[in-house]
Every structure is written in structure tokens, then in C-alpha cells.
Amino acid sequence: MRISGLLVASTRVAGSENGDTREIFRFNVVKDKSGAVVYREETKVGIAQVQDVQANGAKIKITTTEVGQKIEAGDTVRVRRNLPA
């Protein structure tokens, strides 16, 4: 079976409904010699629309990808305030 879209763990889409818009971010971290995070930078990589929500996850459709960016495993999906529908 082939799924058209991306699957997201349920913790990332809690409270979502079909048709909701979400932003996709990637976090890059800089660590010191001991492994402690000393700087964390986020980069917006795209926008997605929730297509189907189930108890253990959701299917989203990528609607926009930022110039020069590609959606990758490990990117974060979240709600942003004042995000146009």
C-alpha cells in the first residue's frame, strides 16, 4: 500500500482536525565538548495541511516548501499563531 503524503506521530498533531494548517521546522543544535546544547536554531522548511487524523498519528500534505529546503525525517510539525489558512 502506498500513502500519498507524510505521516506524523500523534504527539505532533494533538488537537488537529482535517484541513488544519501546520508549519514544518527543522532544529539545528550546536553542542559543546561535553555534549550539552549551547545553541539551538530553527529553520522553517514548509507548510502542510492535515488530511487525516487517527489515534496514533496523522497524514499531512506538504503545501509549500521554503526555497532551498527539503522536508526530512525528524522535522517538527507544529501550530503557529497568526498562520493564514
Nearest Cα neighbor of 44 from 29, 65, 19 is 65
Beta carbons of 85 and 65 less than 8 angstroms apart = no
Beta carbons of 23 and 71 less than 8 angstroms apart = no
Q: Cell numbers of 72, please?
A: 526530512
Q: Residue 30 pairs with which residues in a beta bridge? A: 39
31-72: per-residue pLDDT in tens? 999 999 999 999 999 998 888 888 777 888 899 899 999 888
Task: Tell whether the model's pLDDT for residue 79 goes beyond 80.
Answer: no
15-38: per-residue pLDDT in tens? 778 888 889 999 999 999 999 999
User: Rounded to whole angstroms, how far apart are CA atoms 40 and 63?
Assistant: 26
Domains and CATH numbers, the chain: 6-78 (2.40.10)
Whether the full predicted model's pTM is greater than 0.75, yes or no, is no
